[in-house]
Amino acid sequence: MRLTGVTIMLLASCVLTGTVRAQSPDIISFHGNGQLTWTNSNSNLFYQVQWAASLIGTGVWQSSYATLSDIQSTNPTVTTPVPMFYRVAATSNRVSFPAQLPKSGQTTTYHTGDDAWWATNSVGVAWPNPRFTVGTGTSSNCVTDKLTGLMWLKNPDATARDWATAITYCEGLDGDNGRGNHSDWRLPNWCELASLVNLGQTDQGTWLNTQGFTGVQSDFYWSSTTLVANPNFAWFVYFLSGGVNYAGKTAAYCVWPVRGGQ
């Protein structure tokens, strides 16, 4: 994980029993249901929750793909879900890729120092093999990405929807029809959606349909991320070339529901 900025501040480490080992008075409360609240004395700061499965060893702190978008708020207090062990970091600049970045998938080298040249060395996280696993039984229409921990619908609906309707559609899905009894489906943010891109392929949809998915279109898919410069626009991923761009929220694009993983 890489934090960029002039100020990095560890605020707290806690466990779900409610015992708080506070390292800053900015932590004002911890709720046993897994909600952390801290004061937001400087609304110019970006906050990020980091988690660890245990506190044994070095380099245990991680960031889930669910928190790829930095938390910034003008509210006097901020509340966010937290896992078993957590801490909050604050920086004056946006966090650059707080989660581990996967290798791009490109293996053809055109020039020393290009992406594929580095990919054969140490840049990027190696993909697990297999990367995607298809659920069984009541989860037969779910695919888990072992790299990111995200769970995707195996067969995303090809119906094109505008952005607001896309959000409503995803959040309205229940656990029936092979969706594993899960009801927390949502529209992915653009970092999550782009994590499915394999830049070693010329057609992302065709490739993904060989990885356990079915019915993925080589088309535009909405993300939940709004364009900051114009809130009437939102980001999308093009599952042919793998490109990322933005469009007006009234445009009708495909929708691929995701949930936070296991």
pLDDT score, position 42? 57
Q: What is the CA radius of gyration of the chain?
A: 19
pLDDT digits (tens, 9 = 90+) for 94-105: 443 334 567 888
Listing DSSP states for 140-151 in one string gives: TTEEEETTT--E
Beta strands in the chain (DSSP E): 9-10, 12-14, 20-22, 27-31, 35-39, 46-52, 77-81, 85-91, 132-134, 142-145, 151-153, 220-226, 233-238, 244-248, 258-259
Residues of the chain with pLDDT under 70: 1-51, 53, 62-84, 86-101, 119-123, 261-262
Type of residue at 35: Q
Domains in the chain: ranges and CATH: 9-91 (no CATH), 130-259 (3.10.100.10)
Question: How far apart, in whole angstroms, are the C-alpha atoms of residue 96 and residue 100?
Answer: 10
pLDDT score, position 140? 96
Give yes or no for a cis peptide into 81 (omega within 30° of 0).
no
pLDDT digits (tens, 9 = 90+) for 123-180: 577 888 999 999 999 999 999 998 888 899 999 989 999 999 999 999 999 999 999 9
How far from 9 is each of 64, 92, 214, CA to CA, in Å?
Answer: 19, 10, 44
Question: Which residue(s) pair with 27 in the sheet?
Answer: 38
Question: How far apart, in whole angstroms, are the C-alpha atoms of residue 109 and residue 115?
Answer: 7
C-alpha triplet 130, 114, 194: angle, nearest 5°: 45
Pairing mode, strands 35-39 and 27-31: antiparallel
